[in-house]
A = this chain, B = another copy of it.
């Protein structure tokens, strides 16, 4: 067979040739703009030529600080297609973290959205390698900024070469992109995405049994393009010629729904928070979403109730997916199997609330206390993944060894696998409670508690125990109207029928709030310290 490489240039060349009239619909601060893929191709080639003129070459890192819009999409292809590395910077990190990752990656140029300039201005004095700041704006003039030297994206493009030839002899194992993931301790860790990894991941997104992304689709990634390549949708959609709707900055559920209606979106992807917001807006107003083939949900687990609401009340298929920065990200997808066809409705939703089945192209194993776990939906173990779109290390980072062992990515997620191969996350390894040699899932107890009408939120952590090593303690925030009206005993009575006796928390503490990370996840480390202090253990 020919040794033609799996590289991104093929994707853009395919869309230019075969789907020149399909569209990128881009919502920016000034309104909705439309570009055909022919125009997209020309603008991307212009940008590639401009970057080349700036001296960007093989292996150089170019950072983006941007929302989901057409210019960001141009950067997604222009940078890798000259052999350089697209570094998508998570705008939600702290200024120190942002300065750290820009320096750690060694970004030579930053492409920055006008309204995100303060993020860079706040840390500009710490930046070591950045030689130019290119501002992405719809306005003809450059905004006021303390950054220097600054350039106007559109001015540069107008001088670029619309017929620029992409670099052809890229090695498929060369990095095309990179993204940093926030660590539980310490500074963010970088993951490099190879051309090969992205192409194969795009194949998975196009599989009938994967994302089934097709030319007939109009896809709207709501998940940010600064977050694991917007789950790979920009690459797959360009390759397959799907229309792409990029919802830009400061969107609301209403704006998203209006875009979905006006553009006849067939696929959209986002985290549970987004879908909960969309669901609320659907309660307020009527939207015709009959064209939606599915909504993809990842990042964290969507409650079963949300899935049911979308599917039963609004007739919109809803699909869980699982992945992480280290997995490009698609690894699992909750696409039901033919053996599930005849299941009763409750069992269907039980399955749909799981993270799903492994996508073709990857391998998984789940390592419990005694080696690989039984596929019984009960035994718990850490999910380990392997495959050509799974990272093999963090970029220049000593912490790689903790996560990448024996050729496998150890995800840190504790899961069960049922007999049909469906994976369900039950905890993070670090949050799992090890009591008397057995594992207790903090997440299961939390979910049970949060199903009580009085409970606003609940987090369960381990405290040290002389005999059992660790024991669970639950921290509960009550809804305002129930404050001081519920006692520990009532919650115990509620939990008892649902769990083995030894799973029940040793103590239920009532709190005013539970400490959280910047993205709204429980900060269990801090909570554990707080609980230990309170209980004096």
Contact = CB atoms under 8 A, between A and B. Distances in A.
A338 to B, nearest CB: 5
A360 interface: yes
Contacts of A216: 337-338
Contacts of A18: 357-358, 420-421
Interface string A338-375: 11000000000000000001101101000000000000
B360 A239 contact: yes
A95 interface: no
Chain A, interface residues (CB within 8 Å), range: 35 or more
A66 interface: no
Contacts of A207: 203, 206-208, 240
Interface stretch (A3-11, A435-443, A516-524): A3-11
A77 interface: no
Contacts of A17: 421
A20 B523 CA distance: 41
A37 to B, nearest CB: 12
B392 A2 contact: yes
Interface in A188-208: 192-194, 196-197, 200, 203-204, 206-208
A231 interface: no
Nearest to A357: B18
Contacts of A479: none
A196 B1 contact: yes
Nearest to A172: B388
Given A206-B208, A207-B240, 5 more contacts: A1-B196, A2-B388, A4-B363, A4-B390, A208-B213
25 contacts: A1-B192, A1-B196, A1-B197, A1-B388, A1-B391, A2-B386, A2-B387, A2-B388, A2-B391, A2-B409, A4-B386, A6-B388, A10-B361, A14-B360, A18-B420, A203-B204, A203-B207, A206-B207, A206-B208, A208-B212, A208-B214, A208-B240, A212-B212, A216-B337, A216-B338
